[in-house]
Amino acid sequence: MIKSAISLKAHAKINLHLEVLGKRSDGFHDIISVFAPISLADELLMQRKPDKKECKVLSPLAELPAENTITRAYEEFKNFTGISEGVSVRILKRIPEGAGLGGGSSDAASVLRGLNDMFSTGLTEEDLRVIALKIGSDVPFFLGNGAAVVRGRGETIKRVSVFSDCFGILIYPEIKSATPRAYNLLGRKESEILKPAFNPELFCGKDCREWPFFNSFEDVLFTEYPAIKKAKQDLLTNGADFALMSGAGSSVFGLFKDEKTVKNAYSKLLAEYGRCFFFLLLAF
């Protein structure tokens, strides 16, 4: 049955751990990371446009370029399946851009799933994964549910259970961090492949206060953008049990086990940071 409209949610992710292992001959970098979806999400309404041949995106809360991950997802899906109809997508963009939260990738994955449902094309998870990887390295992760250990350039995904008995605060310090620049600052040379410091799967289920997790980008981006370093320190000063920069920046998150502590911290941090979000880890 072909549906005329579908409502979708595209959740952000945080990186509980991110180690950059090296630069590959194809220009991509090998990583080992722990991705965890959170409650912060974009909201999308997708509608069929039988008289159109394209994807039109309406974004009242944030300006998007004419070509974006949503239009790319539509074009790749169209090329793969041969659908002939267009769609319109109205998106309420709540996930900050250039924040290391995977907002664009999550939007693309939601659109792929939505198109598969809307047009009853019957694509398998593997079909969707193949399309997703053409759009971006993080897109395949968002096709599934729950946390995962992600390896390679993002194509190797193993779903895991992570400690989620906590509350989160996310700070976006109004800095758009470009992923290519972050990798350039890191300076990994081609064929320079490092061994992982440890297997993160062994620690995902432990209390967040026991995590040895880190982010390879922190040192170089803290030097480049001291405001990011300050945001992390502010979270720890206000009682976070664990804090880390997400992705290639610029957002920083803190996890709190105590509800009273997180409420007090959120009140204080919200007064200083215009874009400060309370969130929960989605352990589904």
Which of the residues are catalytic? 13, 138
Q: Is 114 known to sit in a ligand binding site?
A: no
- Any binding-site annotation on 97? yes
Is 249 annotated to bind ligand?
A: no
239 has binding-site annotation? no
Does 96 carry a binding-site annotation?
Answer: yes
Using a 10 angstrom Cβ sphere, with 0-12 exposed, 13-18 middle and 19 or more buried, the burial of residue 179 is: middle
Q: Where are the alpha helices (DSSP H) in 56-124?
A: 69-81, 103-118
- Annotated ligand binding at 218? The verdict is no
Nearest to residue 247, comparing CAs of 144, 137, 146?
Answer: 137
The answer to whether the annotation marks 254 as part of a ligand binding site is no
115 is in an annotated binding site: no
Residue 139 is given by DSSP the state G
- Rounded to an integer, what distance in angstroms lies between the CA atom of residue 102 and that of residue 10? 10
Torsion, Cα 79 26 142 120, to 10 degrees, reads 20
Per the annotation, does 144 bind a ligand? Answer: no
Cα torsion 91, 112, 146, 30: sign: negative
Q: CA–CA distance from 282 to each of 29, 102, 129 (Å)?
A: 27, 15, 21
User: Is 187 known as a binding-site position?
Assistant: no
The terminus-to-terminus CA distance of the chain in angstroms comes to 28
CA dihedral 95, 100, 103, 104 (to 10 degrees): 140
Q: How far apart are CA 222 and CA 249, in angstroms?
A: 10
Alpha carbon 256 to chain centroid, angstroms: 21
Q: Which residues are annotated as a binding site?
A: 96-106
Q: Which residues are annotated as a binding site for ATP?
A: 96-106
